[in-house]
Amino acid sequence: MLPKQEVVAMLLAGGQGSRLGVLTKNLAKPAVPFGGKYRIIDFPLSNCVNSGIETVGVLTQYQPLELNEYIGSGQPWDLDSTNAGVHILPPYQRNKRSDWYKGTANAICQNIPFIERYNPDYVVVLSGDHIYKMDYSQMVAFHKEKDAACTIAVYEVPMEEASRFGILNTREDDSIYEFDEKPKVPKSNKASMGIYVFSWDKLKKYLIADDEDPKSQNDFGKNVLPAMLEAGERMFAYRFEGYWKDVGTIESLWESNMDLLDPNVSLDLNDTEWKIYSRNPVMPAHYVAKGAKVQNSLVAEGCNVYGEIDFAVLFAGVYVAPGAVVKDSIVMPGARIEEGAVVQYAIVAENSVVGANSVVGERPEAMENKDDWGVAVIGPGCTIAPGTVVPPKAMIDAEEVDK
Amino acid sequence: MRGNNVLGILFAYVHEERVRELTENRVMASIPYGGRYRLVDFPLSNMVNSGINKVGVITETNYQSLMDHLGSGKAWDLSRKREGLYLLPPFGAETTRRTDARIETLSSIMRFLKNSHEDYVLLSDCDLVANIDYRDVFRFHTEKNADITLVYRRGTSPDTDKNCVYTIDPEGVVRDMLVKRGSDADCNYGLGIRLISKDLLVKLVEDCMSRNLYDFDRDLLQRCLPDLRVVGYEVTGAAYPITSFGSYFNANMALMDPKVRAQLFTSTQPIYTKVRDDMPVKYGLGSVIGNSIVADGCFIDGEVENCVLFRGVQVKKGAKLKNCVIMQDTVVGENTRLDYVVADKNVIFEQDRSMAGHQNYPVYISKGSRV
């Protein structure tokens, strides 16, 4: 028996993230690069460590290779301790009823034995597609104070956008009386952040009941939480203030990266008390050449900048040639922007090459029909031939380029 | 594949007196270099990249910052059950060293040497910025059937009076060696790296100790030349010995040359260092930057030209930096102008300050100063 852990975190990292297109073709969404040197999963993992949670189970299913490699022993996040730490939990074969993870609840249900080893009082369920800094220990304290069975973190969104979210309707004391999935006429603006704290004995009971129901889709939002509410369990909404963004789409991923360049956005990655840890590349400090123009940008180690960048996020080892221009764009690790190329409102994925004098993306104000505008995406490992024009909203896949 | 038959020994402290400014609060090995490194990162990474997986680091005084930097050796992959990193401070199990003479130092770690199963020892100082594959040195040593291999570079000596200068015959054998010398013309100057079999090293050190001989270069190496086969291995390419404050400044500035960076930082033989988990550099509106090296965690809102900025440096609006080396977490206030300044860690330049040195004489601002 391992030493008791009061709180165990379970991180749902198995989804495909199909809305990110080529970026997640061969990569699980939580492993998508973010913010110059991070990957999305660094945020929940760092939040766990900074909140004092020492045991994290990462549930993987879709394209886990790079994600597994990235997490490794968990050492970059201090999650490599002897009796706790981070554990990768893929679906596995058992002597009867082997199955893939059928839904978010089923993924946790299949790992009840893992959780039980730590004999926890509380289980925190997290997802791997949000950018935010949050002290989960405060949420757990709130959960204890309310003597709740389940606490759901909520974010107050503008009322006019509330119909895009899963909305929680609450009473005065923050107890939840109704779930409203994408309501046409929202009664509240409290959107679920997909962050749950459960009392383990309650969660276990409902997971087992859910597993025995053949009609259930084994999903937290659709099945387990409504079942708990219906049974009259104490469920509370925990209000979160601060920066929070779902980066499940190309637009939101792009926007969230650009938010890092906005001095008015409250996401501070330089806070020594709440560092976001990541696996650091082994590269020298970056070099900016004479004649380069650099403004409003984030530039990581190993970059060589000879051209012009403005509102750009350059990841480790990016090369921007003389005369190349990168504006309002994200350039992921190891990518090269060759001479005279113009990249604007675009995401250039890992190890891609944008050939000389190519044009990728377009400024929205230069478009006649605004509906045709969107962020252009160059998939991982693409080589864009010199002089190519890649229109806005395009999504270039390396395998199709080769054909 | 890991592992070879060579034990690494690093002298973390030697030649500190040559850069007194920078070694006031730290050992030679932990002098910051190139935006994110310490000098020890170069020999240590070279050793690890060459398959050496047991390294002893000999320290004398002031070694707290070095211990802090090295930690368990994890960043160099030297935190392991078999072999790994060993710090060898002056207060050992049986002896307390009272001098920093290299021979006495080696004598005090005799048990460590004898207990190591490796047959060869690579002894290196920590005052050289270079990326050298020691496997080539080892191969050369074996091919030449050498007793001792000394690593050298050919060129004008870095200093007029501080070098070991070798006379080497066409076979590669060292015929003569001058200690504490220099030369205006091209010469073969030593880089402070020696490969020797362990048994021979133990024998020579014990012999010197019993004869009251303490100078490694004069008493151990020079005395060997007639009787033993001492050969020289030539290093070409980027190599910067830090022999003075000026050479330290120039070695930083040399990084602006892409060819130098390509030789020092290769993807197959990377230079490892301690991770600090800083965010990428944030350039603000109105920042102007050219020909500079900038490490993670910096905030640049002013103008920067021909500078090396270490992790966490802040350059406020209107500040103008030219030809500077600015170490970790130093803050340059608004409208402050600096030219040929080397600022140590945690310096605060308030607003509207102005300071200038000269190319031959950069101004040094000590750690934690407030200007």
pLDDT per residue rounded down to tens, chain B (371 residues): 356 799 999 999 888 888 888 988 889 999 999 999 999 999 999 999 999 999 999 988 788 889 999 999 999 999 988 889 999 887 665 555 555 578 888 888 898 999 999 999 999 999 999 999 999 999 999 999 999 999 999 998 887 777 889 999 999 999 999 988 878 888 999 999 999 999 999 999 999 988 888 888 888 888 889 999 999 999 998 999 999 999 999 999 999 999 999 999 999 999 999 999 999 999 999 999 999 999 999 999 999 999 999 999 999 999 999 999 999 999 999 999 999 999 999 999 999 999 999 998 999 999 999 98
In this complex, do A296 and B284 lie within 8 Å of one another by their Cβ atoms? yes
Whole-number Å distance between alpha carbons of B88 and B255 = 32
- Taking the C-alpha atoms of residue B62 and residue B358, their distance in angstroms, rounded to an integer, is 30
Which pLDDT score, from 0 to 100, does residue A40 have?
96
Nearest-neighbour CA in chain A from B241: distance (Å): 19
Q: Is B258 on the interface with A (CB under 8 A)?
A: yes
Q: What gap in Å lies between CA B35 and CA B42, rounded to an integer?
A: 14
DSSP annotation of A244? E
Which residues from A are below 8 Å from B271, CB to CB? 282, 284
**Which of A276, A289, A298 faces B291 most closely, judged by CB atoms?**
A289
B297 Cβ under 8 Å from any chain A Cβ? yes
CB contact under 8 A, A300 and B295: no
Query: Min CA distance, A307 vs chain B (Å)?
Result: 11
Contacts A–B by Cβ distance under 8 A: 105
Q: Which of A277, A280, A290 sits opposite B290 (nearest CB)?
A: A290
Q: Are strands B32-33 and B37-38 parallel, antiparallel or unpaired?
A: antiparallel
| Domains of chain B by residue range | 3-264, 282-365
Subunit contact B293:A285, Cβ cutoff 8 A = yes
Note the pLDDT of residue A138: 96
Chain B, nearest residue to A35 by Cα: B280
Query: Which of A76, A294, A300 has the CB atom closest to B283's CB atom?
Result: A294
Q: B3-264: CATH homologous superfamily?
A: Spore Coat Polysaccharide Biosynthesis Protein SpsA; Chain A (3.90.550.10)
Residues of A in contact with B305 (CB under 8 A): 290
AA identity, residue A318: V
DSSP summary character for residue B218: I
Q: How far is B280 from chain A (nearest CA, A)?
A: 5
Name residues whose C-beta falls within 8 Å of residue B335's C-beta, 6 or more positions apart in sequence: B317, B318, B319, B351, B352
Query: A308 to chain B: which residues are within 8 Å by CB?
Result: none
Nearest chain B Cα distance for residue A276, angstroms: 7
User: Using the beta-carbon criterion (under 8 Å), do B289 and A288 form an inter-chain contact?
Assistant: yes
Picking from A263, A292, A300, the nearest residue to B296 by CB comes out as A300
Tokens matching residue B160: 């007029």
φ/ψ (deg, to 5) at A288: -115, 125
Write out the two tokens for B85. Answer: 């990193």
DSSP states of A306-319 as a string?
-SEEEEEEE-TT-E
CA distance A64 to A15: 10
Hey, is the C-beta of B362 within 8 angstroms of any chain A C-beta?
Answer: no
pTM, rounded to two decimals: 0.92
Beta bridge mates, B281: A299
Query: Which chain A positions have a beta carbon within 8 Å of B49's beta carbon?
Result: none
Are residues A283 and B294, on separate chains, in Cβ contact within 8 Å?
A: no
Query: Which of B261, B265, B283 lies nearest to residue A296, judging by beta carbons?
Result: B283
Query: 3-state DSSP call for residue A360?
Result: strand
Nearest residue of B to residue A317 by CA position?
B267
* Contact between residue B75 and residue B40 where contact means Cβ atoms under 8 Å apart: no
- CB burial of residue B329 (10 Å; 0-12, 13-18, 19+): middle
Q: For A134-156, give the secondary structure using H, E and C.
A: CCHHHHHHHHHHCCCCEEEEEEE
Q: What is the CA radius of gyration of chain A?
A: 22
Nearest CB partner across the interface for A298, out of B258, B280, B286: B280
Say if CB A162 and CB A169 are below 8 A apart. no
Determine the distance in angstroms separating the CA of A274 from the nearest CA of chain B, rounded to an integer: 11
Report chain A residues touching chain B, CB-CB < 8 A.
Answer: 35-37, 75-76, 261, 263, 269-270, 275-278, 280, 282-292, 294-301, 304, 313-314
Sign of CA dihedral B33, B36, B40, B44: negative
Residue A190 identity (one-letter amino acid):
K
Angle at B266 between CA B264 and CA B271, to 5 degrees: 65
Quote the DSSP letter at residue B59.
-
| Inter-chain touch A275–B271, beta carbons under 8 Å | no
Chain B residue whose CA is closest to A262: B284
B281-283/B299-300 β-pairing: parallel
Amino acid occupying residue A79: L
Domain B282-365, CATH: 2.160.10.10
Residue A237: what residue type?
Answer: A
Tell which residue, A122, A148, A149, A118, has the closest CA to residue A136: A122
Interchain pair A283, B265: CB under 8 A: yes
First-to-last CA distance in chain A?
55
Compare CB distances from B287 to A285, A295, A298 and report the shortest one's residue. A295
- Which chain B residues are closer than 8 Å to A282 by Cβ? 270-272
The answer to whether residue B282 neighbours chain A at the CB level (below 8 Å) is yes
Q: Which residues of B touch A296 (CB under 8 A)?
A: 283-285
Inter-chain CB proximity A287 and B297 less than 8 Å: no
- Residue B138's H or E segment, with its range, is helix B134-143
Q: Are B232 and B168 in contact (CB under 8 A)?
A: yes
Shortest CA gap B89–chain A (Å): 28
Element of type H or E holding A237: strand A235-240
Supply the ipTM of this predicted assembly: 0.90
pLDDT < 70: residue spans in chain A = 1, 402-403
Compare all CA atoms of chain B with the CA of A287 and give the residue at the minimum distance.
B293
- pLDDT of res. A370: 82
